[in-house]
Structure formats: structure tokens, C-alpha cells
Amino acid sequence: MRFILAILASLLALPAAAIELTAPFENIDGGTLKLSDWAGQPVLVVNTASRCGFTDQYEGLQTLYETYRDRGLVVLAVPSGDFRQELATNEEVKDFCELTYGIDMPMTGITSVRGANAHPFYTSVAEEVGFTPAWNFSKILVAPNGTVAATFGSTVKPLSSTLTDEIEPLLN
């Protein structure tokens, strides 16, 4: 029993994993976005796709953003073609999201989230915490201190208590 307690104590004492927050993402509106731009705020990073069975989660993501943005939450949509369910161009994605879901949360351009061409943020999350999106609408919650607070698969809905219970303690 002492051995198990010692192992648990040592795991709890590990430093927070350092993930890449400064590598720029292409902004779907032009220019770039960096997670470090939101230092001190919780950021929910979600790899998205316009032609997926989970695409209706955009509605919940927008509601989540509207509900908590005044308390500091940023929801960053990262359209990705890695699962072959994204539209062909950033302009098509932007138009689809704005017209269908009224999206005004920050969005990157179409970005790879897994494999050899994955964005450095996703590569660092895979290396440091062992999480790689298995499908569209996987979620990574970055704490205000820049560490990964939690990860969620595609089936976790944006307004579920599973997700909001992790977000709320991180808010202003």
C-alpha cells in the first residue's frame, strides 16, 4: 500500500506538461492566431469538420462560447481535413460556419491535427499528454497557465456537464 501511495504522490508532483502555445495557426479571417495570445485564459481547442456526423456540435460550441466568453473562455475551432470530411477551402468553411451556425468564435484555417503534418500544438499535446484526436470534434482544454487541463473525444457534447464541469473552475 505504501508503494502505491508513493507512486501516486510522485505522479502528482510531476511538473505540468509543456505544450506548444506560440506556433501560429493560420486565421481563417487572414493573419495568424497563437494560443499564447490568450495567455491567462482557458482555451477549448476543437478540431472540426463541415461534413461530419458531429458537425452539429458547432451550435453547442457557439453557445458555449457565448455563455462563457465574458468570463474568459476562448473556443478555438480548428477545421481539419485529416478525416476527409472538411470542405476544400477556408472560404467555403468560413461561409458554411457563418451561414449555417452563426459562428463568431475564432477559427483557424484548415489545419492538420495528426500525423506527420500535424500542427506543432497537436504534436506537443500528443507527446506531452498522449492525446491525439481520434476523430473530428475532439476537444483539448488548455488551462490559463498553458497546460492541458483535460481532453475529450468527439462524443462529449459542448454543453455537457462532463465538459462544463472542467471549464467552470478555470473561468474568471
Tens-digit pLDDT profile for residues 109-131: 999 999 999 999 999 999 999 99
Structural domain includes residue 17: no
Number of structural domains (the chain) is 1
pTM, whole model, 2 decimals? Answer: 0.90
Average pLDDT, the chain: 92
Structural domain includes residue 16: no
What is each CA distance from 3 to 6, 8, 9, 12, 31, in whole angstroms?
A: 5, 9, 10, 14, 52
Structural domain includes residue 163: yes
Is residue 71's pLDDT more than 90?
A: yes
Structural domain includes residue 11: no
Structural domain includes residue 157: yes
pLDDT band at 137 (very low <50, low <70, confident <90, very high): very high
4-8, 51-55, 78-82, 104-108: the lowest-pLDDT one: 4-8
Choosing from 43, 45, 52, 170, which is the catalytic residue?
52
- The pLDDT, as a whole number, for residue 16 is 62
Is residue 6's pLDDT more than 60?
A: no
Range of the domain at 88: 22-170
Tens-digit pLDDT profile for residues 89-100: 999 999 999 999
* Residue 97 is a catalytic residue: no
CATH of the domain at 84: 3.40.30.10
- The pLDDT, as a whole number, for residue 47 is 98
pLDDT band at 14 (very low <50, low <70, confident <90, very high): very low
Structural domain includes residue 166: yes
